[in-house]
Amino acid sequence: MFLRCGCCIIPKDVLERLLQDPTLPAKTRASLESTVAQESIWRRLRVAQGAAIQARLFTLESTTTLAKVPSITVNDCQNTTSLPGKPVANPGKSKDQTAKRAFDRTTDVVEFYKTCFGRNSIDDLGMTLMSSIHYDVNYNNAFWNGVHMTYGDGDGQLFLDFTRANDVVAHELAHGVTEYTSGFVYTNEAGGLNESMSDVFGSMFRQWQKNQTFSRADWLIGADIVGPAAKARGYKCLRDLADPGAKHCISPQPFRYKDYIPGGDPHDNSGIPNHAFYLAAKAIGGRSWEKAGKVWYAALTSRKATKNMKFKAFAKLTRVAAKTLFPSEPAVYSAIDKGWAGVGVS
């Protein structure tokens, strides 16, 4: 089975569903149609780039160092589909708030991985991180194309500028981390794990920036890009790790393994491991990145993580990591175990 969708924040079938809504303004539906049409173009690039990265990892010397601190650049597509776009000079001080947000939030994601997990950029070798902004006209998505992040401005009705959501920025960068570690393919259960890693680390990053404990976090993905037309329809986020199937989610998901969709979109099936993480973090309490997050990161970066991994095998890696990282805290292992049991993954 070949990839049916790429590493973006909004799945293609959701965009197509919204496109069929006759109550949406013609301009909004036109922007959705244009967004859907662009998907296959960058998807092919991501597949090829991902395969190249995995092949390179076999020959990359462990002593190789690209940079102690990664460079962060921003390019402006100027509402065209030409990538990567025109370089933005000094984006951290740009008057273009989209450029500034892309720079600042990427910088913060780098600090998040360094502080919480000891990782130096997405490849752990100080890789330069490049963002492309103002992609296309009213483009309703953000994606990782295997090389860098790309953000649309949204149509202003269903979706707002995608750099507004810090968890969206972290979601896209996490796809890069996955490519440089486990290399989960984008099909079947491994595809669900791939998307889940991005939602989980995106949510953790959002909580980390706000220094939130479990009880204070809302566990929503993409709440800051939901536009007025979407809110008028009762939506308040893309996904919700605490309640994946909720009606307030633009992209609702199954969250029990018995409801897994064979051959389904990875965005849908990611609801299962997403909710397992939520349940584990809930049982542990405190800050999600300090224990549950460290366990998930250890599993993602384990040498035993394989590109075609199934949920059960990944769950086993998290259980092993819980015992290894927190040998004197059996409650952590118990929480991880109960998290997976809670979604039906033994």
What's the pLDDT tens digit per position in 163-218? 999 999 999 999 999 999 999 999 999 999 999 999 999 999 999 999 999 999 99
Domain termination site, one of 179, 200, 218: 179
Do 39 and 170 belong together in one domain?
A: yes
Do 163 and 201 belong together in one domain?
A: no
What does the block give as tokens for 247?
A: 């009606």
Do 104 and 123 belong together in one domain?
A: yes
Query: Residue 41 is part of a domain; what is its CATH number?
Result: 3.10.170.10
pLDDT above 90 for 55: no
Helix axes of 188-210 and 311-325: crossing angle, nearest 10 degrees: 40
For residue 249, the 8-state DSSP code is: B
Strand order, beta sheet including 129-133: 86-87, 72-76, 129-133, 149-151, 142-144
Domain termination site, one of 139, 158, 179: 179
Do 48 and 170 belong together in one domain?
A: yes
Pinpoint the alpha helices (H) of the chain.
12-19, 26-57, 97-117, 166-179, 188-210, 228-232, 266-269, 271-284, 292-300, 311-325, 330-342
Are 344 and 258 contacting, i.e. CB atoms less than 8 angstroms apart?
yes
Domain termination site, one of 179, 208, 240: 179
Do 65 and 138 belong together in one domain?
A: yes
C-alpha to C-alpha distance for 309 and 343, rounded to whole angstroms? 17
Do 142 and 238 belong together in one domain?
A: no
Do 72 and 153 belong together in one domain?
A: yes
Are 253 and 240 contacting, i.e. CB atoms less than 8 angstroms apart?
no
Q: Active-site residues: which are they?
A: 172, 267
Does some domain include residue 3?
no
pTM of this structure: 0.91
Do 201 and 294 belong together in one domain?
A: yes
What pLDDT score was predicted for residue 38?
76
For residue 23, the 8-state DSSP code is: T
